[in-house]
Amino acid sequence: MSLSGEKILEKMSDVDERLIIGAEKTHYTKKLFIKAGIVTAAAAAAVAFGLNFIPLQNNMELPNLPKISVSEDMAQNGMGFEGLSTSDMEKEKSNLLAQNFKIKEMPVYKTNTADPDVEKMRSRLRELTDYFGLDYSSLDIIEDITDEEALREQLKEYDAPEEEIERMLKISRTNTYVSAYMRNDEGDTLMKISVNAAMGIDISFALPENNDGKYFGTELPSEYHFGNDSAFSELEAAGRYLLEKYCDIIDMKNPEALTDPDYEGYVTFYEKGDSDAESIANQSIRTVSFGGTNNRLTIIRINEGFKCCEKIADYPIIAEEEAEELLKNGNYLTSVPYEIKGDEEIGLVELTYRFGIGYETAMPFYRFLILLPEDEVHRDDGERTYGGYYVPAVRGEYLENMPQPAVIFNGAFIIPPR
């Protein structure tokens, strides 16, 4: 007899941690709060009717395009609560491209981060180690790759159903990565290069403890000011110097600086696309970031997500006003454990993409930054907090699963089954 879901979860705690990679190792995503439970069939039918009844705009004829699914892995892989302070939200407003609501259609991509190309990852790692002139045979190479046969057998010992086994295998595959460490004789890491399932690359350089120590990064010329106290214009200038220096490992022809609320000592560029819609997509799937201090580079982060993305088509998107109605109806994804009531202050609306480890599609969303009640979030600096809420921008006719609103049942927030 199969174990119940709760028993399976209880037994899962005994599974060998080397076979399952935890969500805390993921990058480029944020964990989303799931409103889950059981609801009466009548309530489920009522909500489903509301979701499917999305009228056509001006009787427009829609192109015949494949239906797409809002990736449920958005709720499983990530890094927790997404909140911006008042000052950070003001910085976010400088991204005027993301606030171009005249866009009528945007690209949607199929991704393979749930089934990564390990050989492509290994090849990219070797290219990078060769570029930096490292002796590959002397490096500490670590590969975190799922032993699917061993994991499957271990899960079967707990009588896990096949669908649960496949789900756990998928989660483990998405967290695949390969890394190379250069260490000194004492075992200290001097340089690290890592490639993950979403073709995200981290290259980090350890700063020497004294001026005589070996440093493998780049020390910028004195005319640049690159550090935690640099103005954004200074960071951008330093970043363009580094783009030129590392152009052989950065596939970027027309880089544009991207203002980041957390830009202290950090600057990000994205590849400008042939259209505003493509440029917005590239802000999530084609970027490079540099971080440093005291005019020394400490990290290069290259997001080559476009290499594991295959464009499906350009899809018609809904207007901002329609997205706001869906938001108020509860049709959103979020990491914020605060239920929208419909009268909250909206600090900012922008078009963005969600892409990262475990995502099966890269598709556009309207991101609403909502001012949270003071009793929900307490800040020592006195600033207010805005939470991020995501509404699919693609028209509902093309979605297989619109995020569903919570329903109050016996005093708890729950979501109807699909």
Domain boundaries, the chain: 31-113+311-414, 118-309
* Digit-coded pLDDT (tens) for 116-127: 889 999 999 999
Amino acid at 278: E
pLDDT in tens, 272-302: 999 999 999 999 999 999 999 999 999 999 9
Task: State what percent of residues in the chain have pLDDT above 70.
Answer: 78
Under DSSP, is residue 173 helix (H, G, I), strand (E, B) or coil? helix
Residue 301 contacts by C-beta under 8 Å, 6 or more apart in sequence?
A: 200, 201, 202, 203, 287, 288, 289, 290, 291
Q: Which pLDDT band, with edges at 50, 70 and 90, does 262 fall under?
A: low
Asked whether residue 5 carries a pLDDT value surpassing 70, the answer given is: no
Q: What is the pLDDT of residues 226-235, one digit of tens each?
A: 998 999 999 9
pLDDT at position 146: 80
CA distance 353 to 107: 10
What does pTM read for this prediction? 0.79
The percent of residues above 90 in pLDDT, for the chain, comes to 50
Q: What is the pLDDT of residue 375?
A: 67
Average pLDDT on 370-389 reads 81
CA–CA distance from 364 to each of 94, 258, 282, 391 (Å)? 19, 18, 11, 9
Q: How far apart are CA 200 and CA 286, in angstroms?
A: 10
Length of the chain: 418
E-state strands within 147-217 = 177-183, 189-196, 200-205
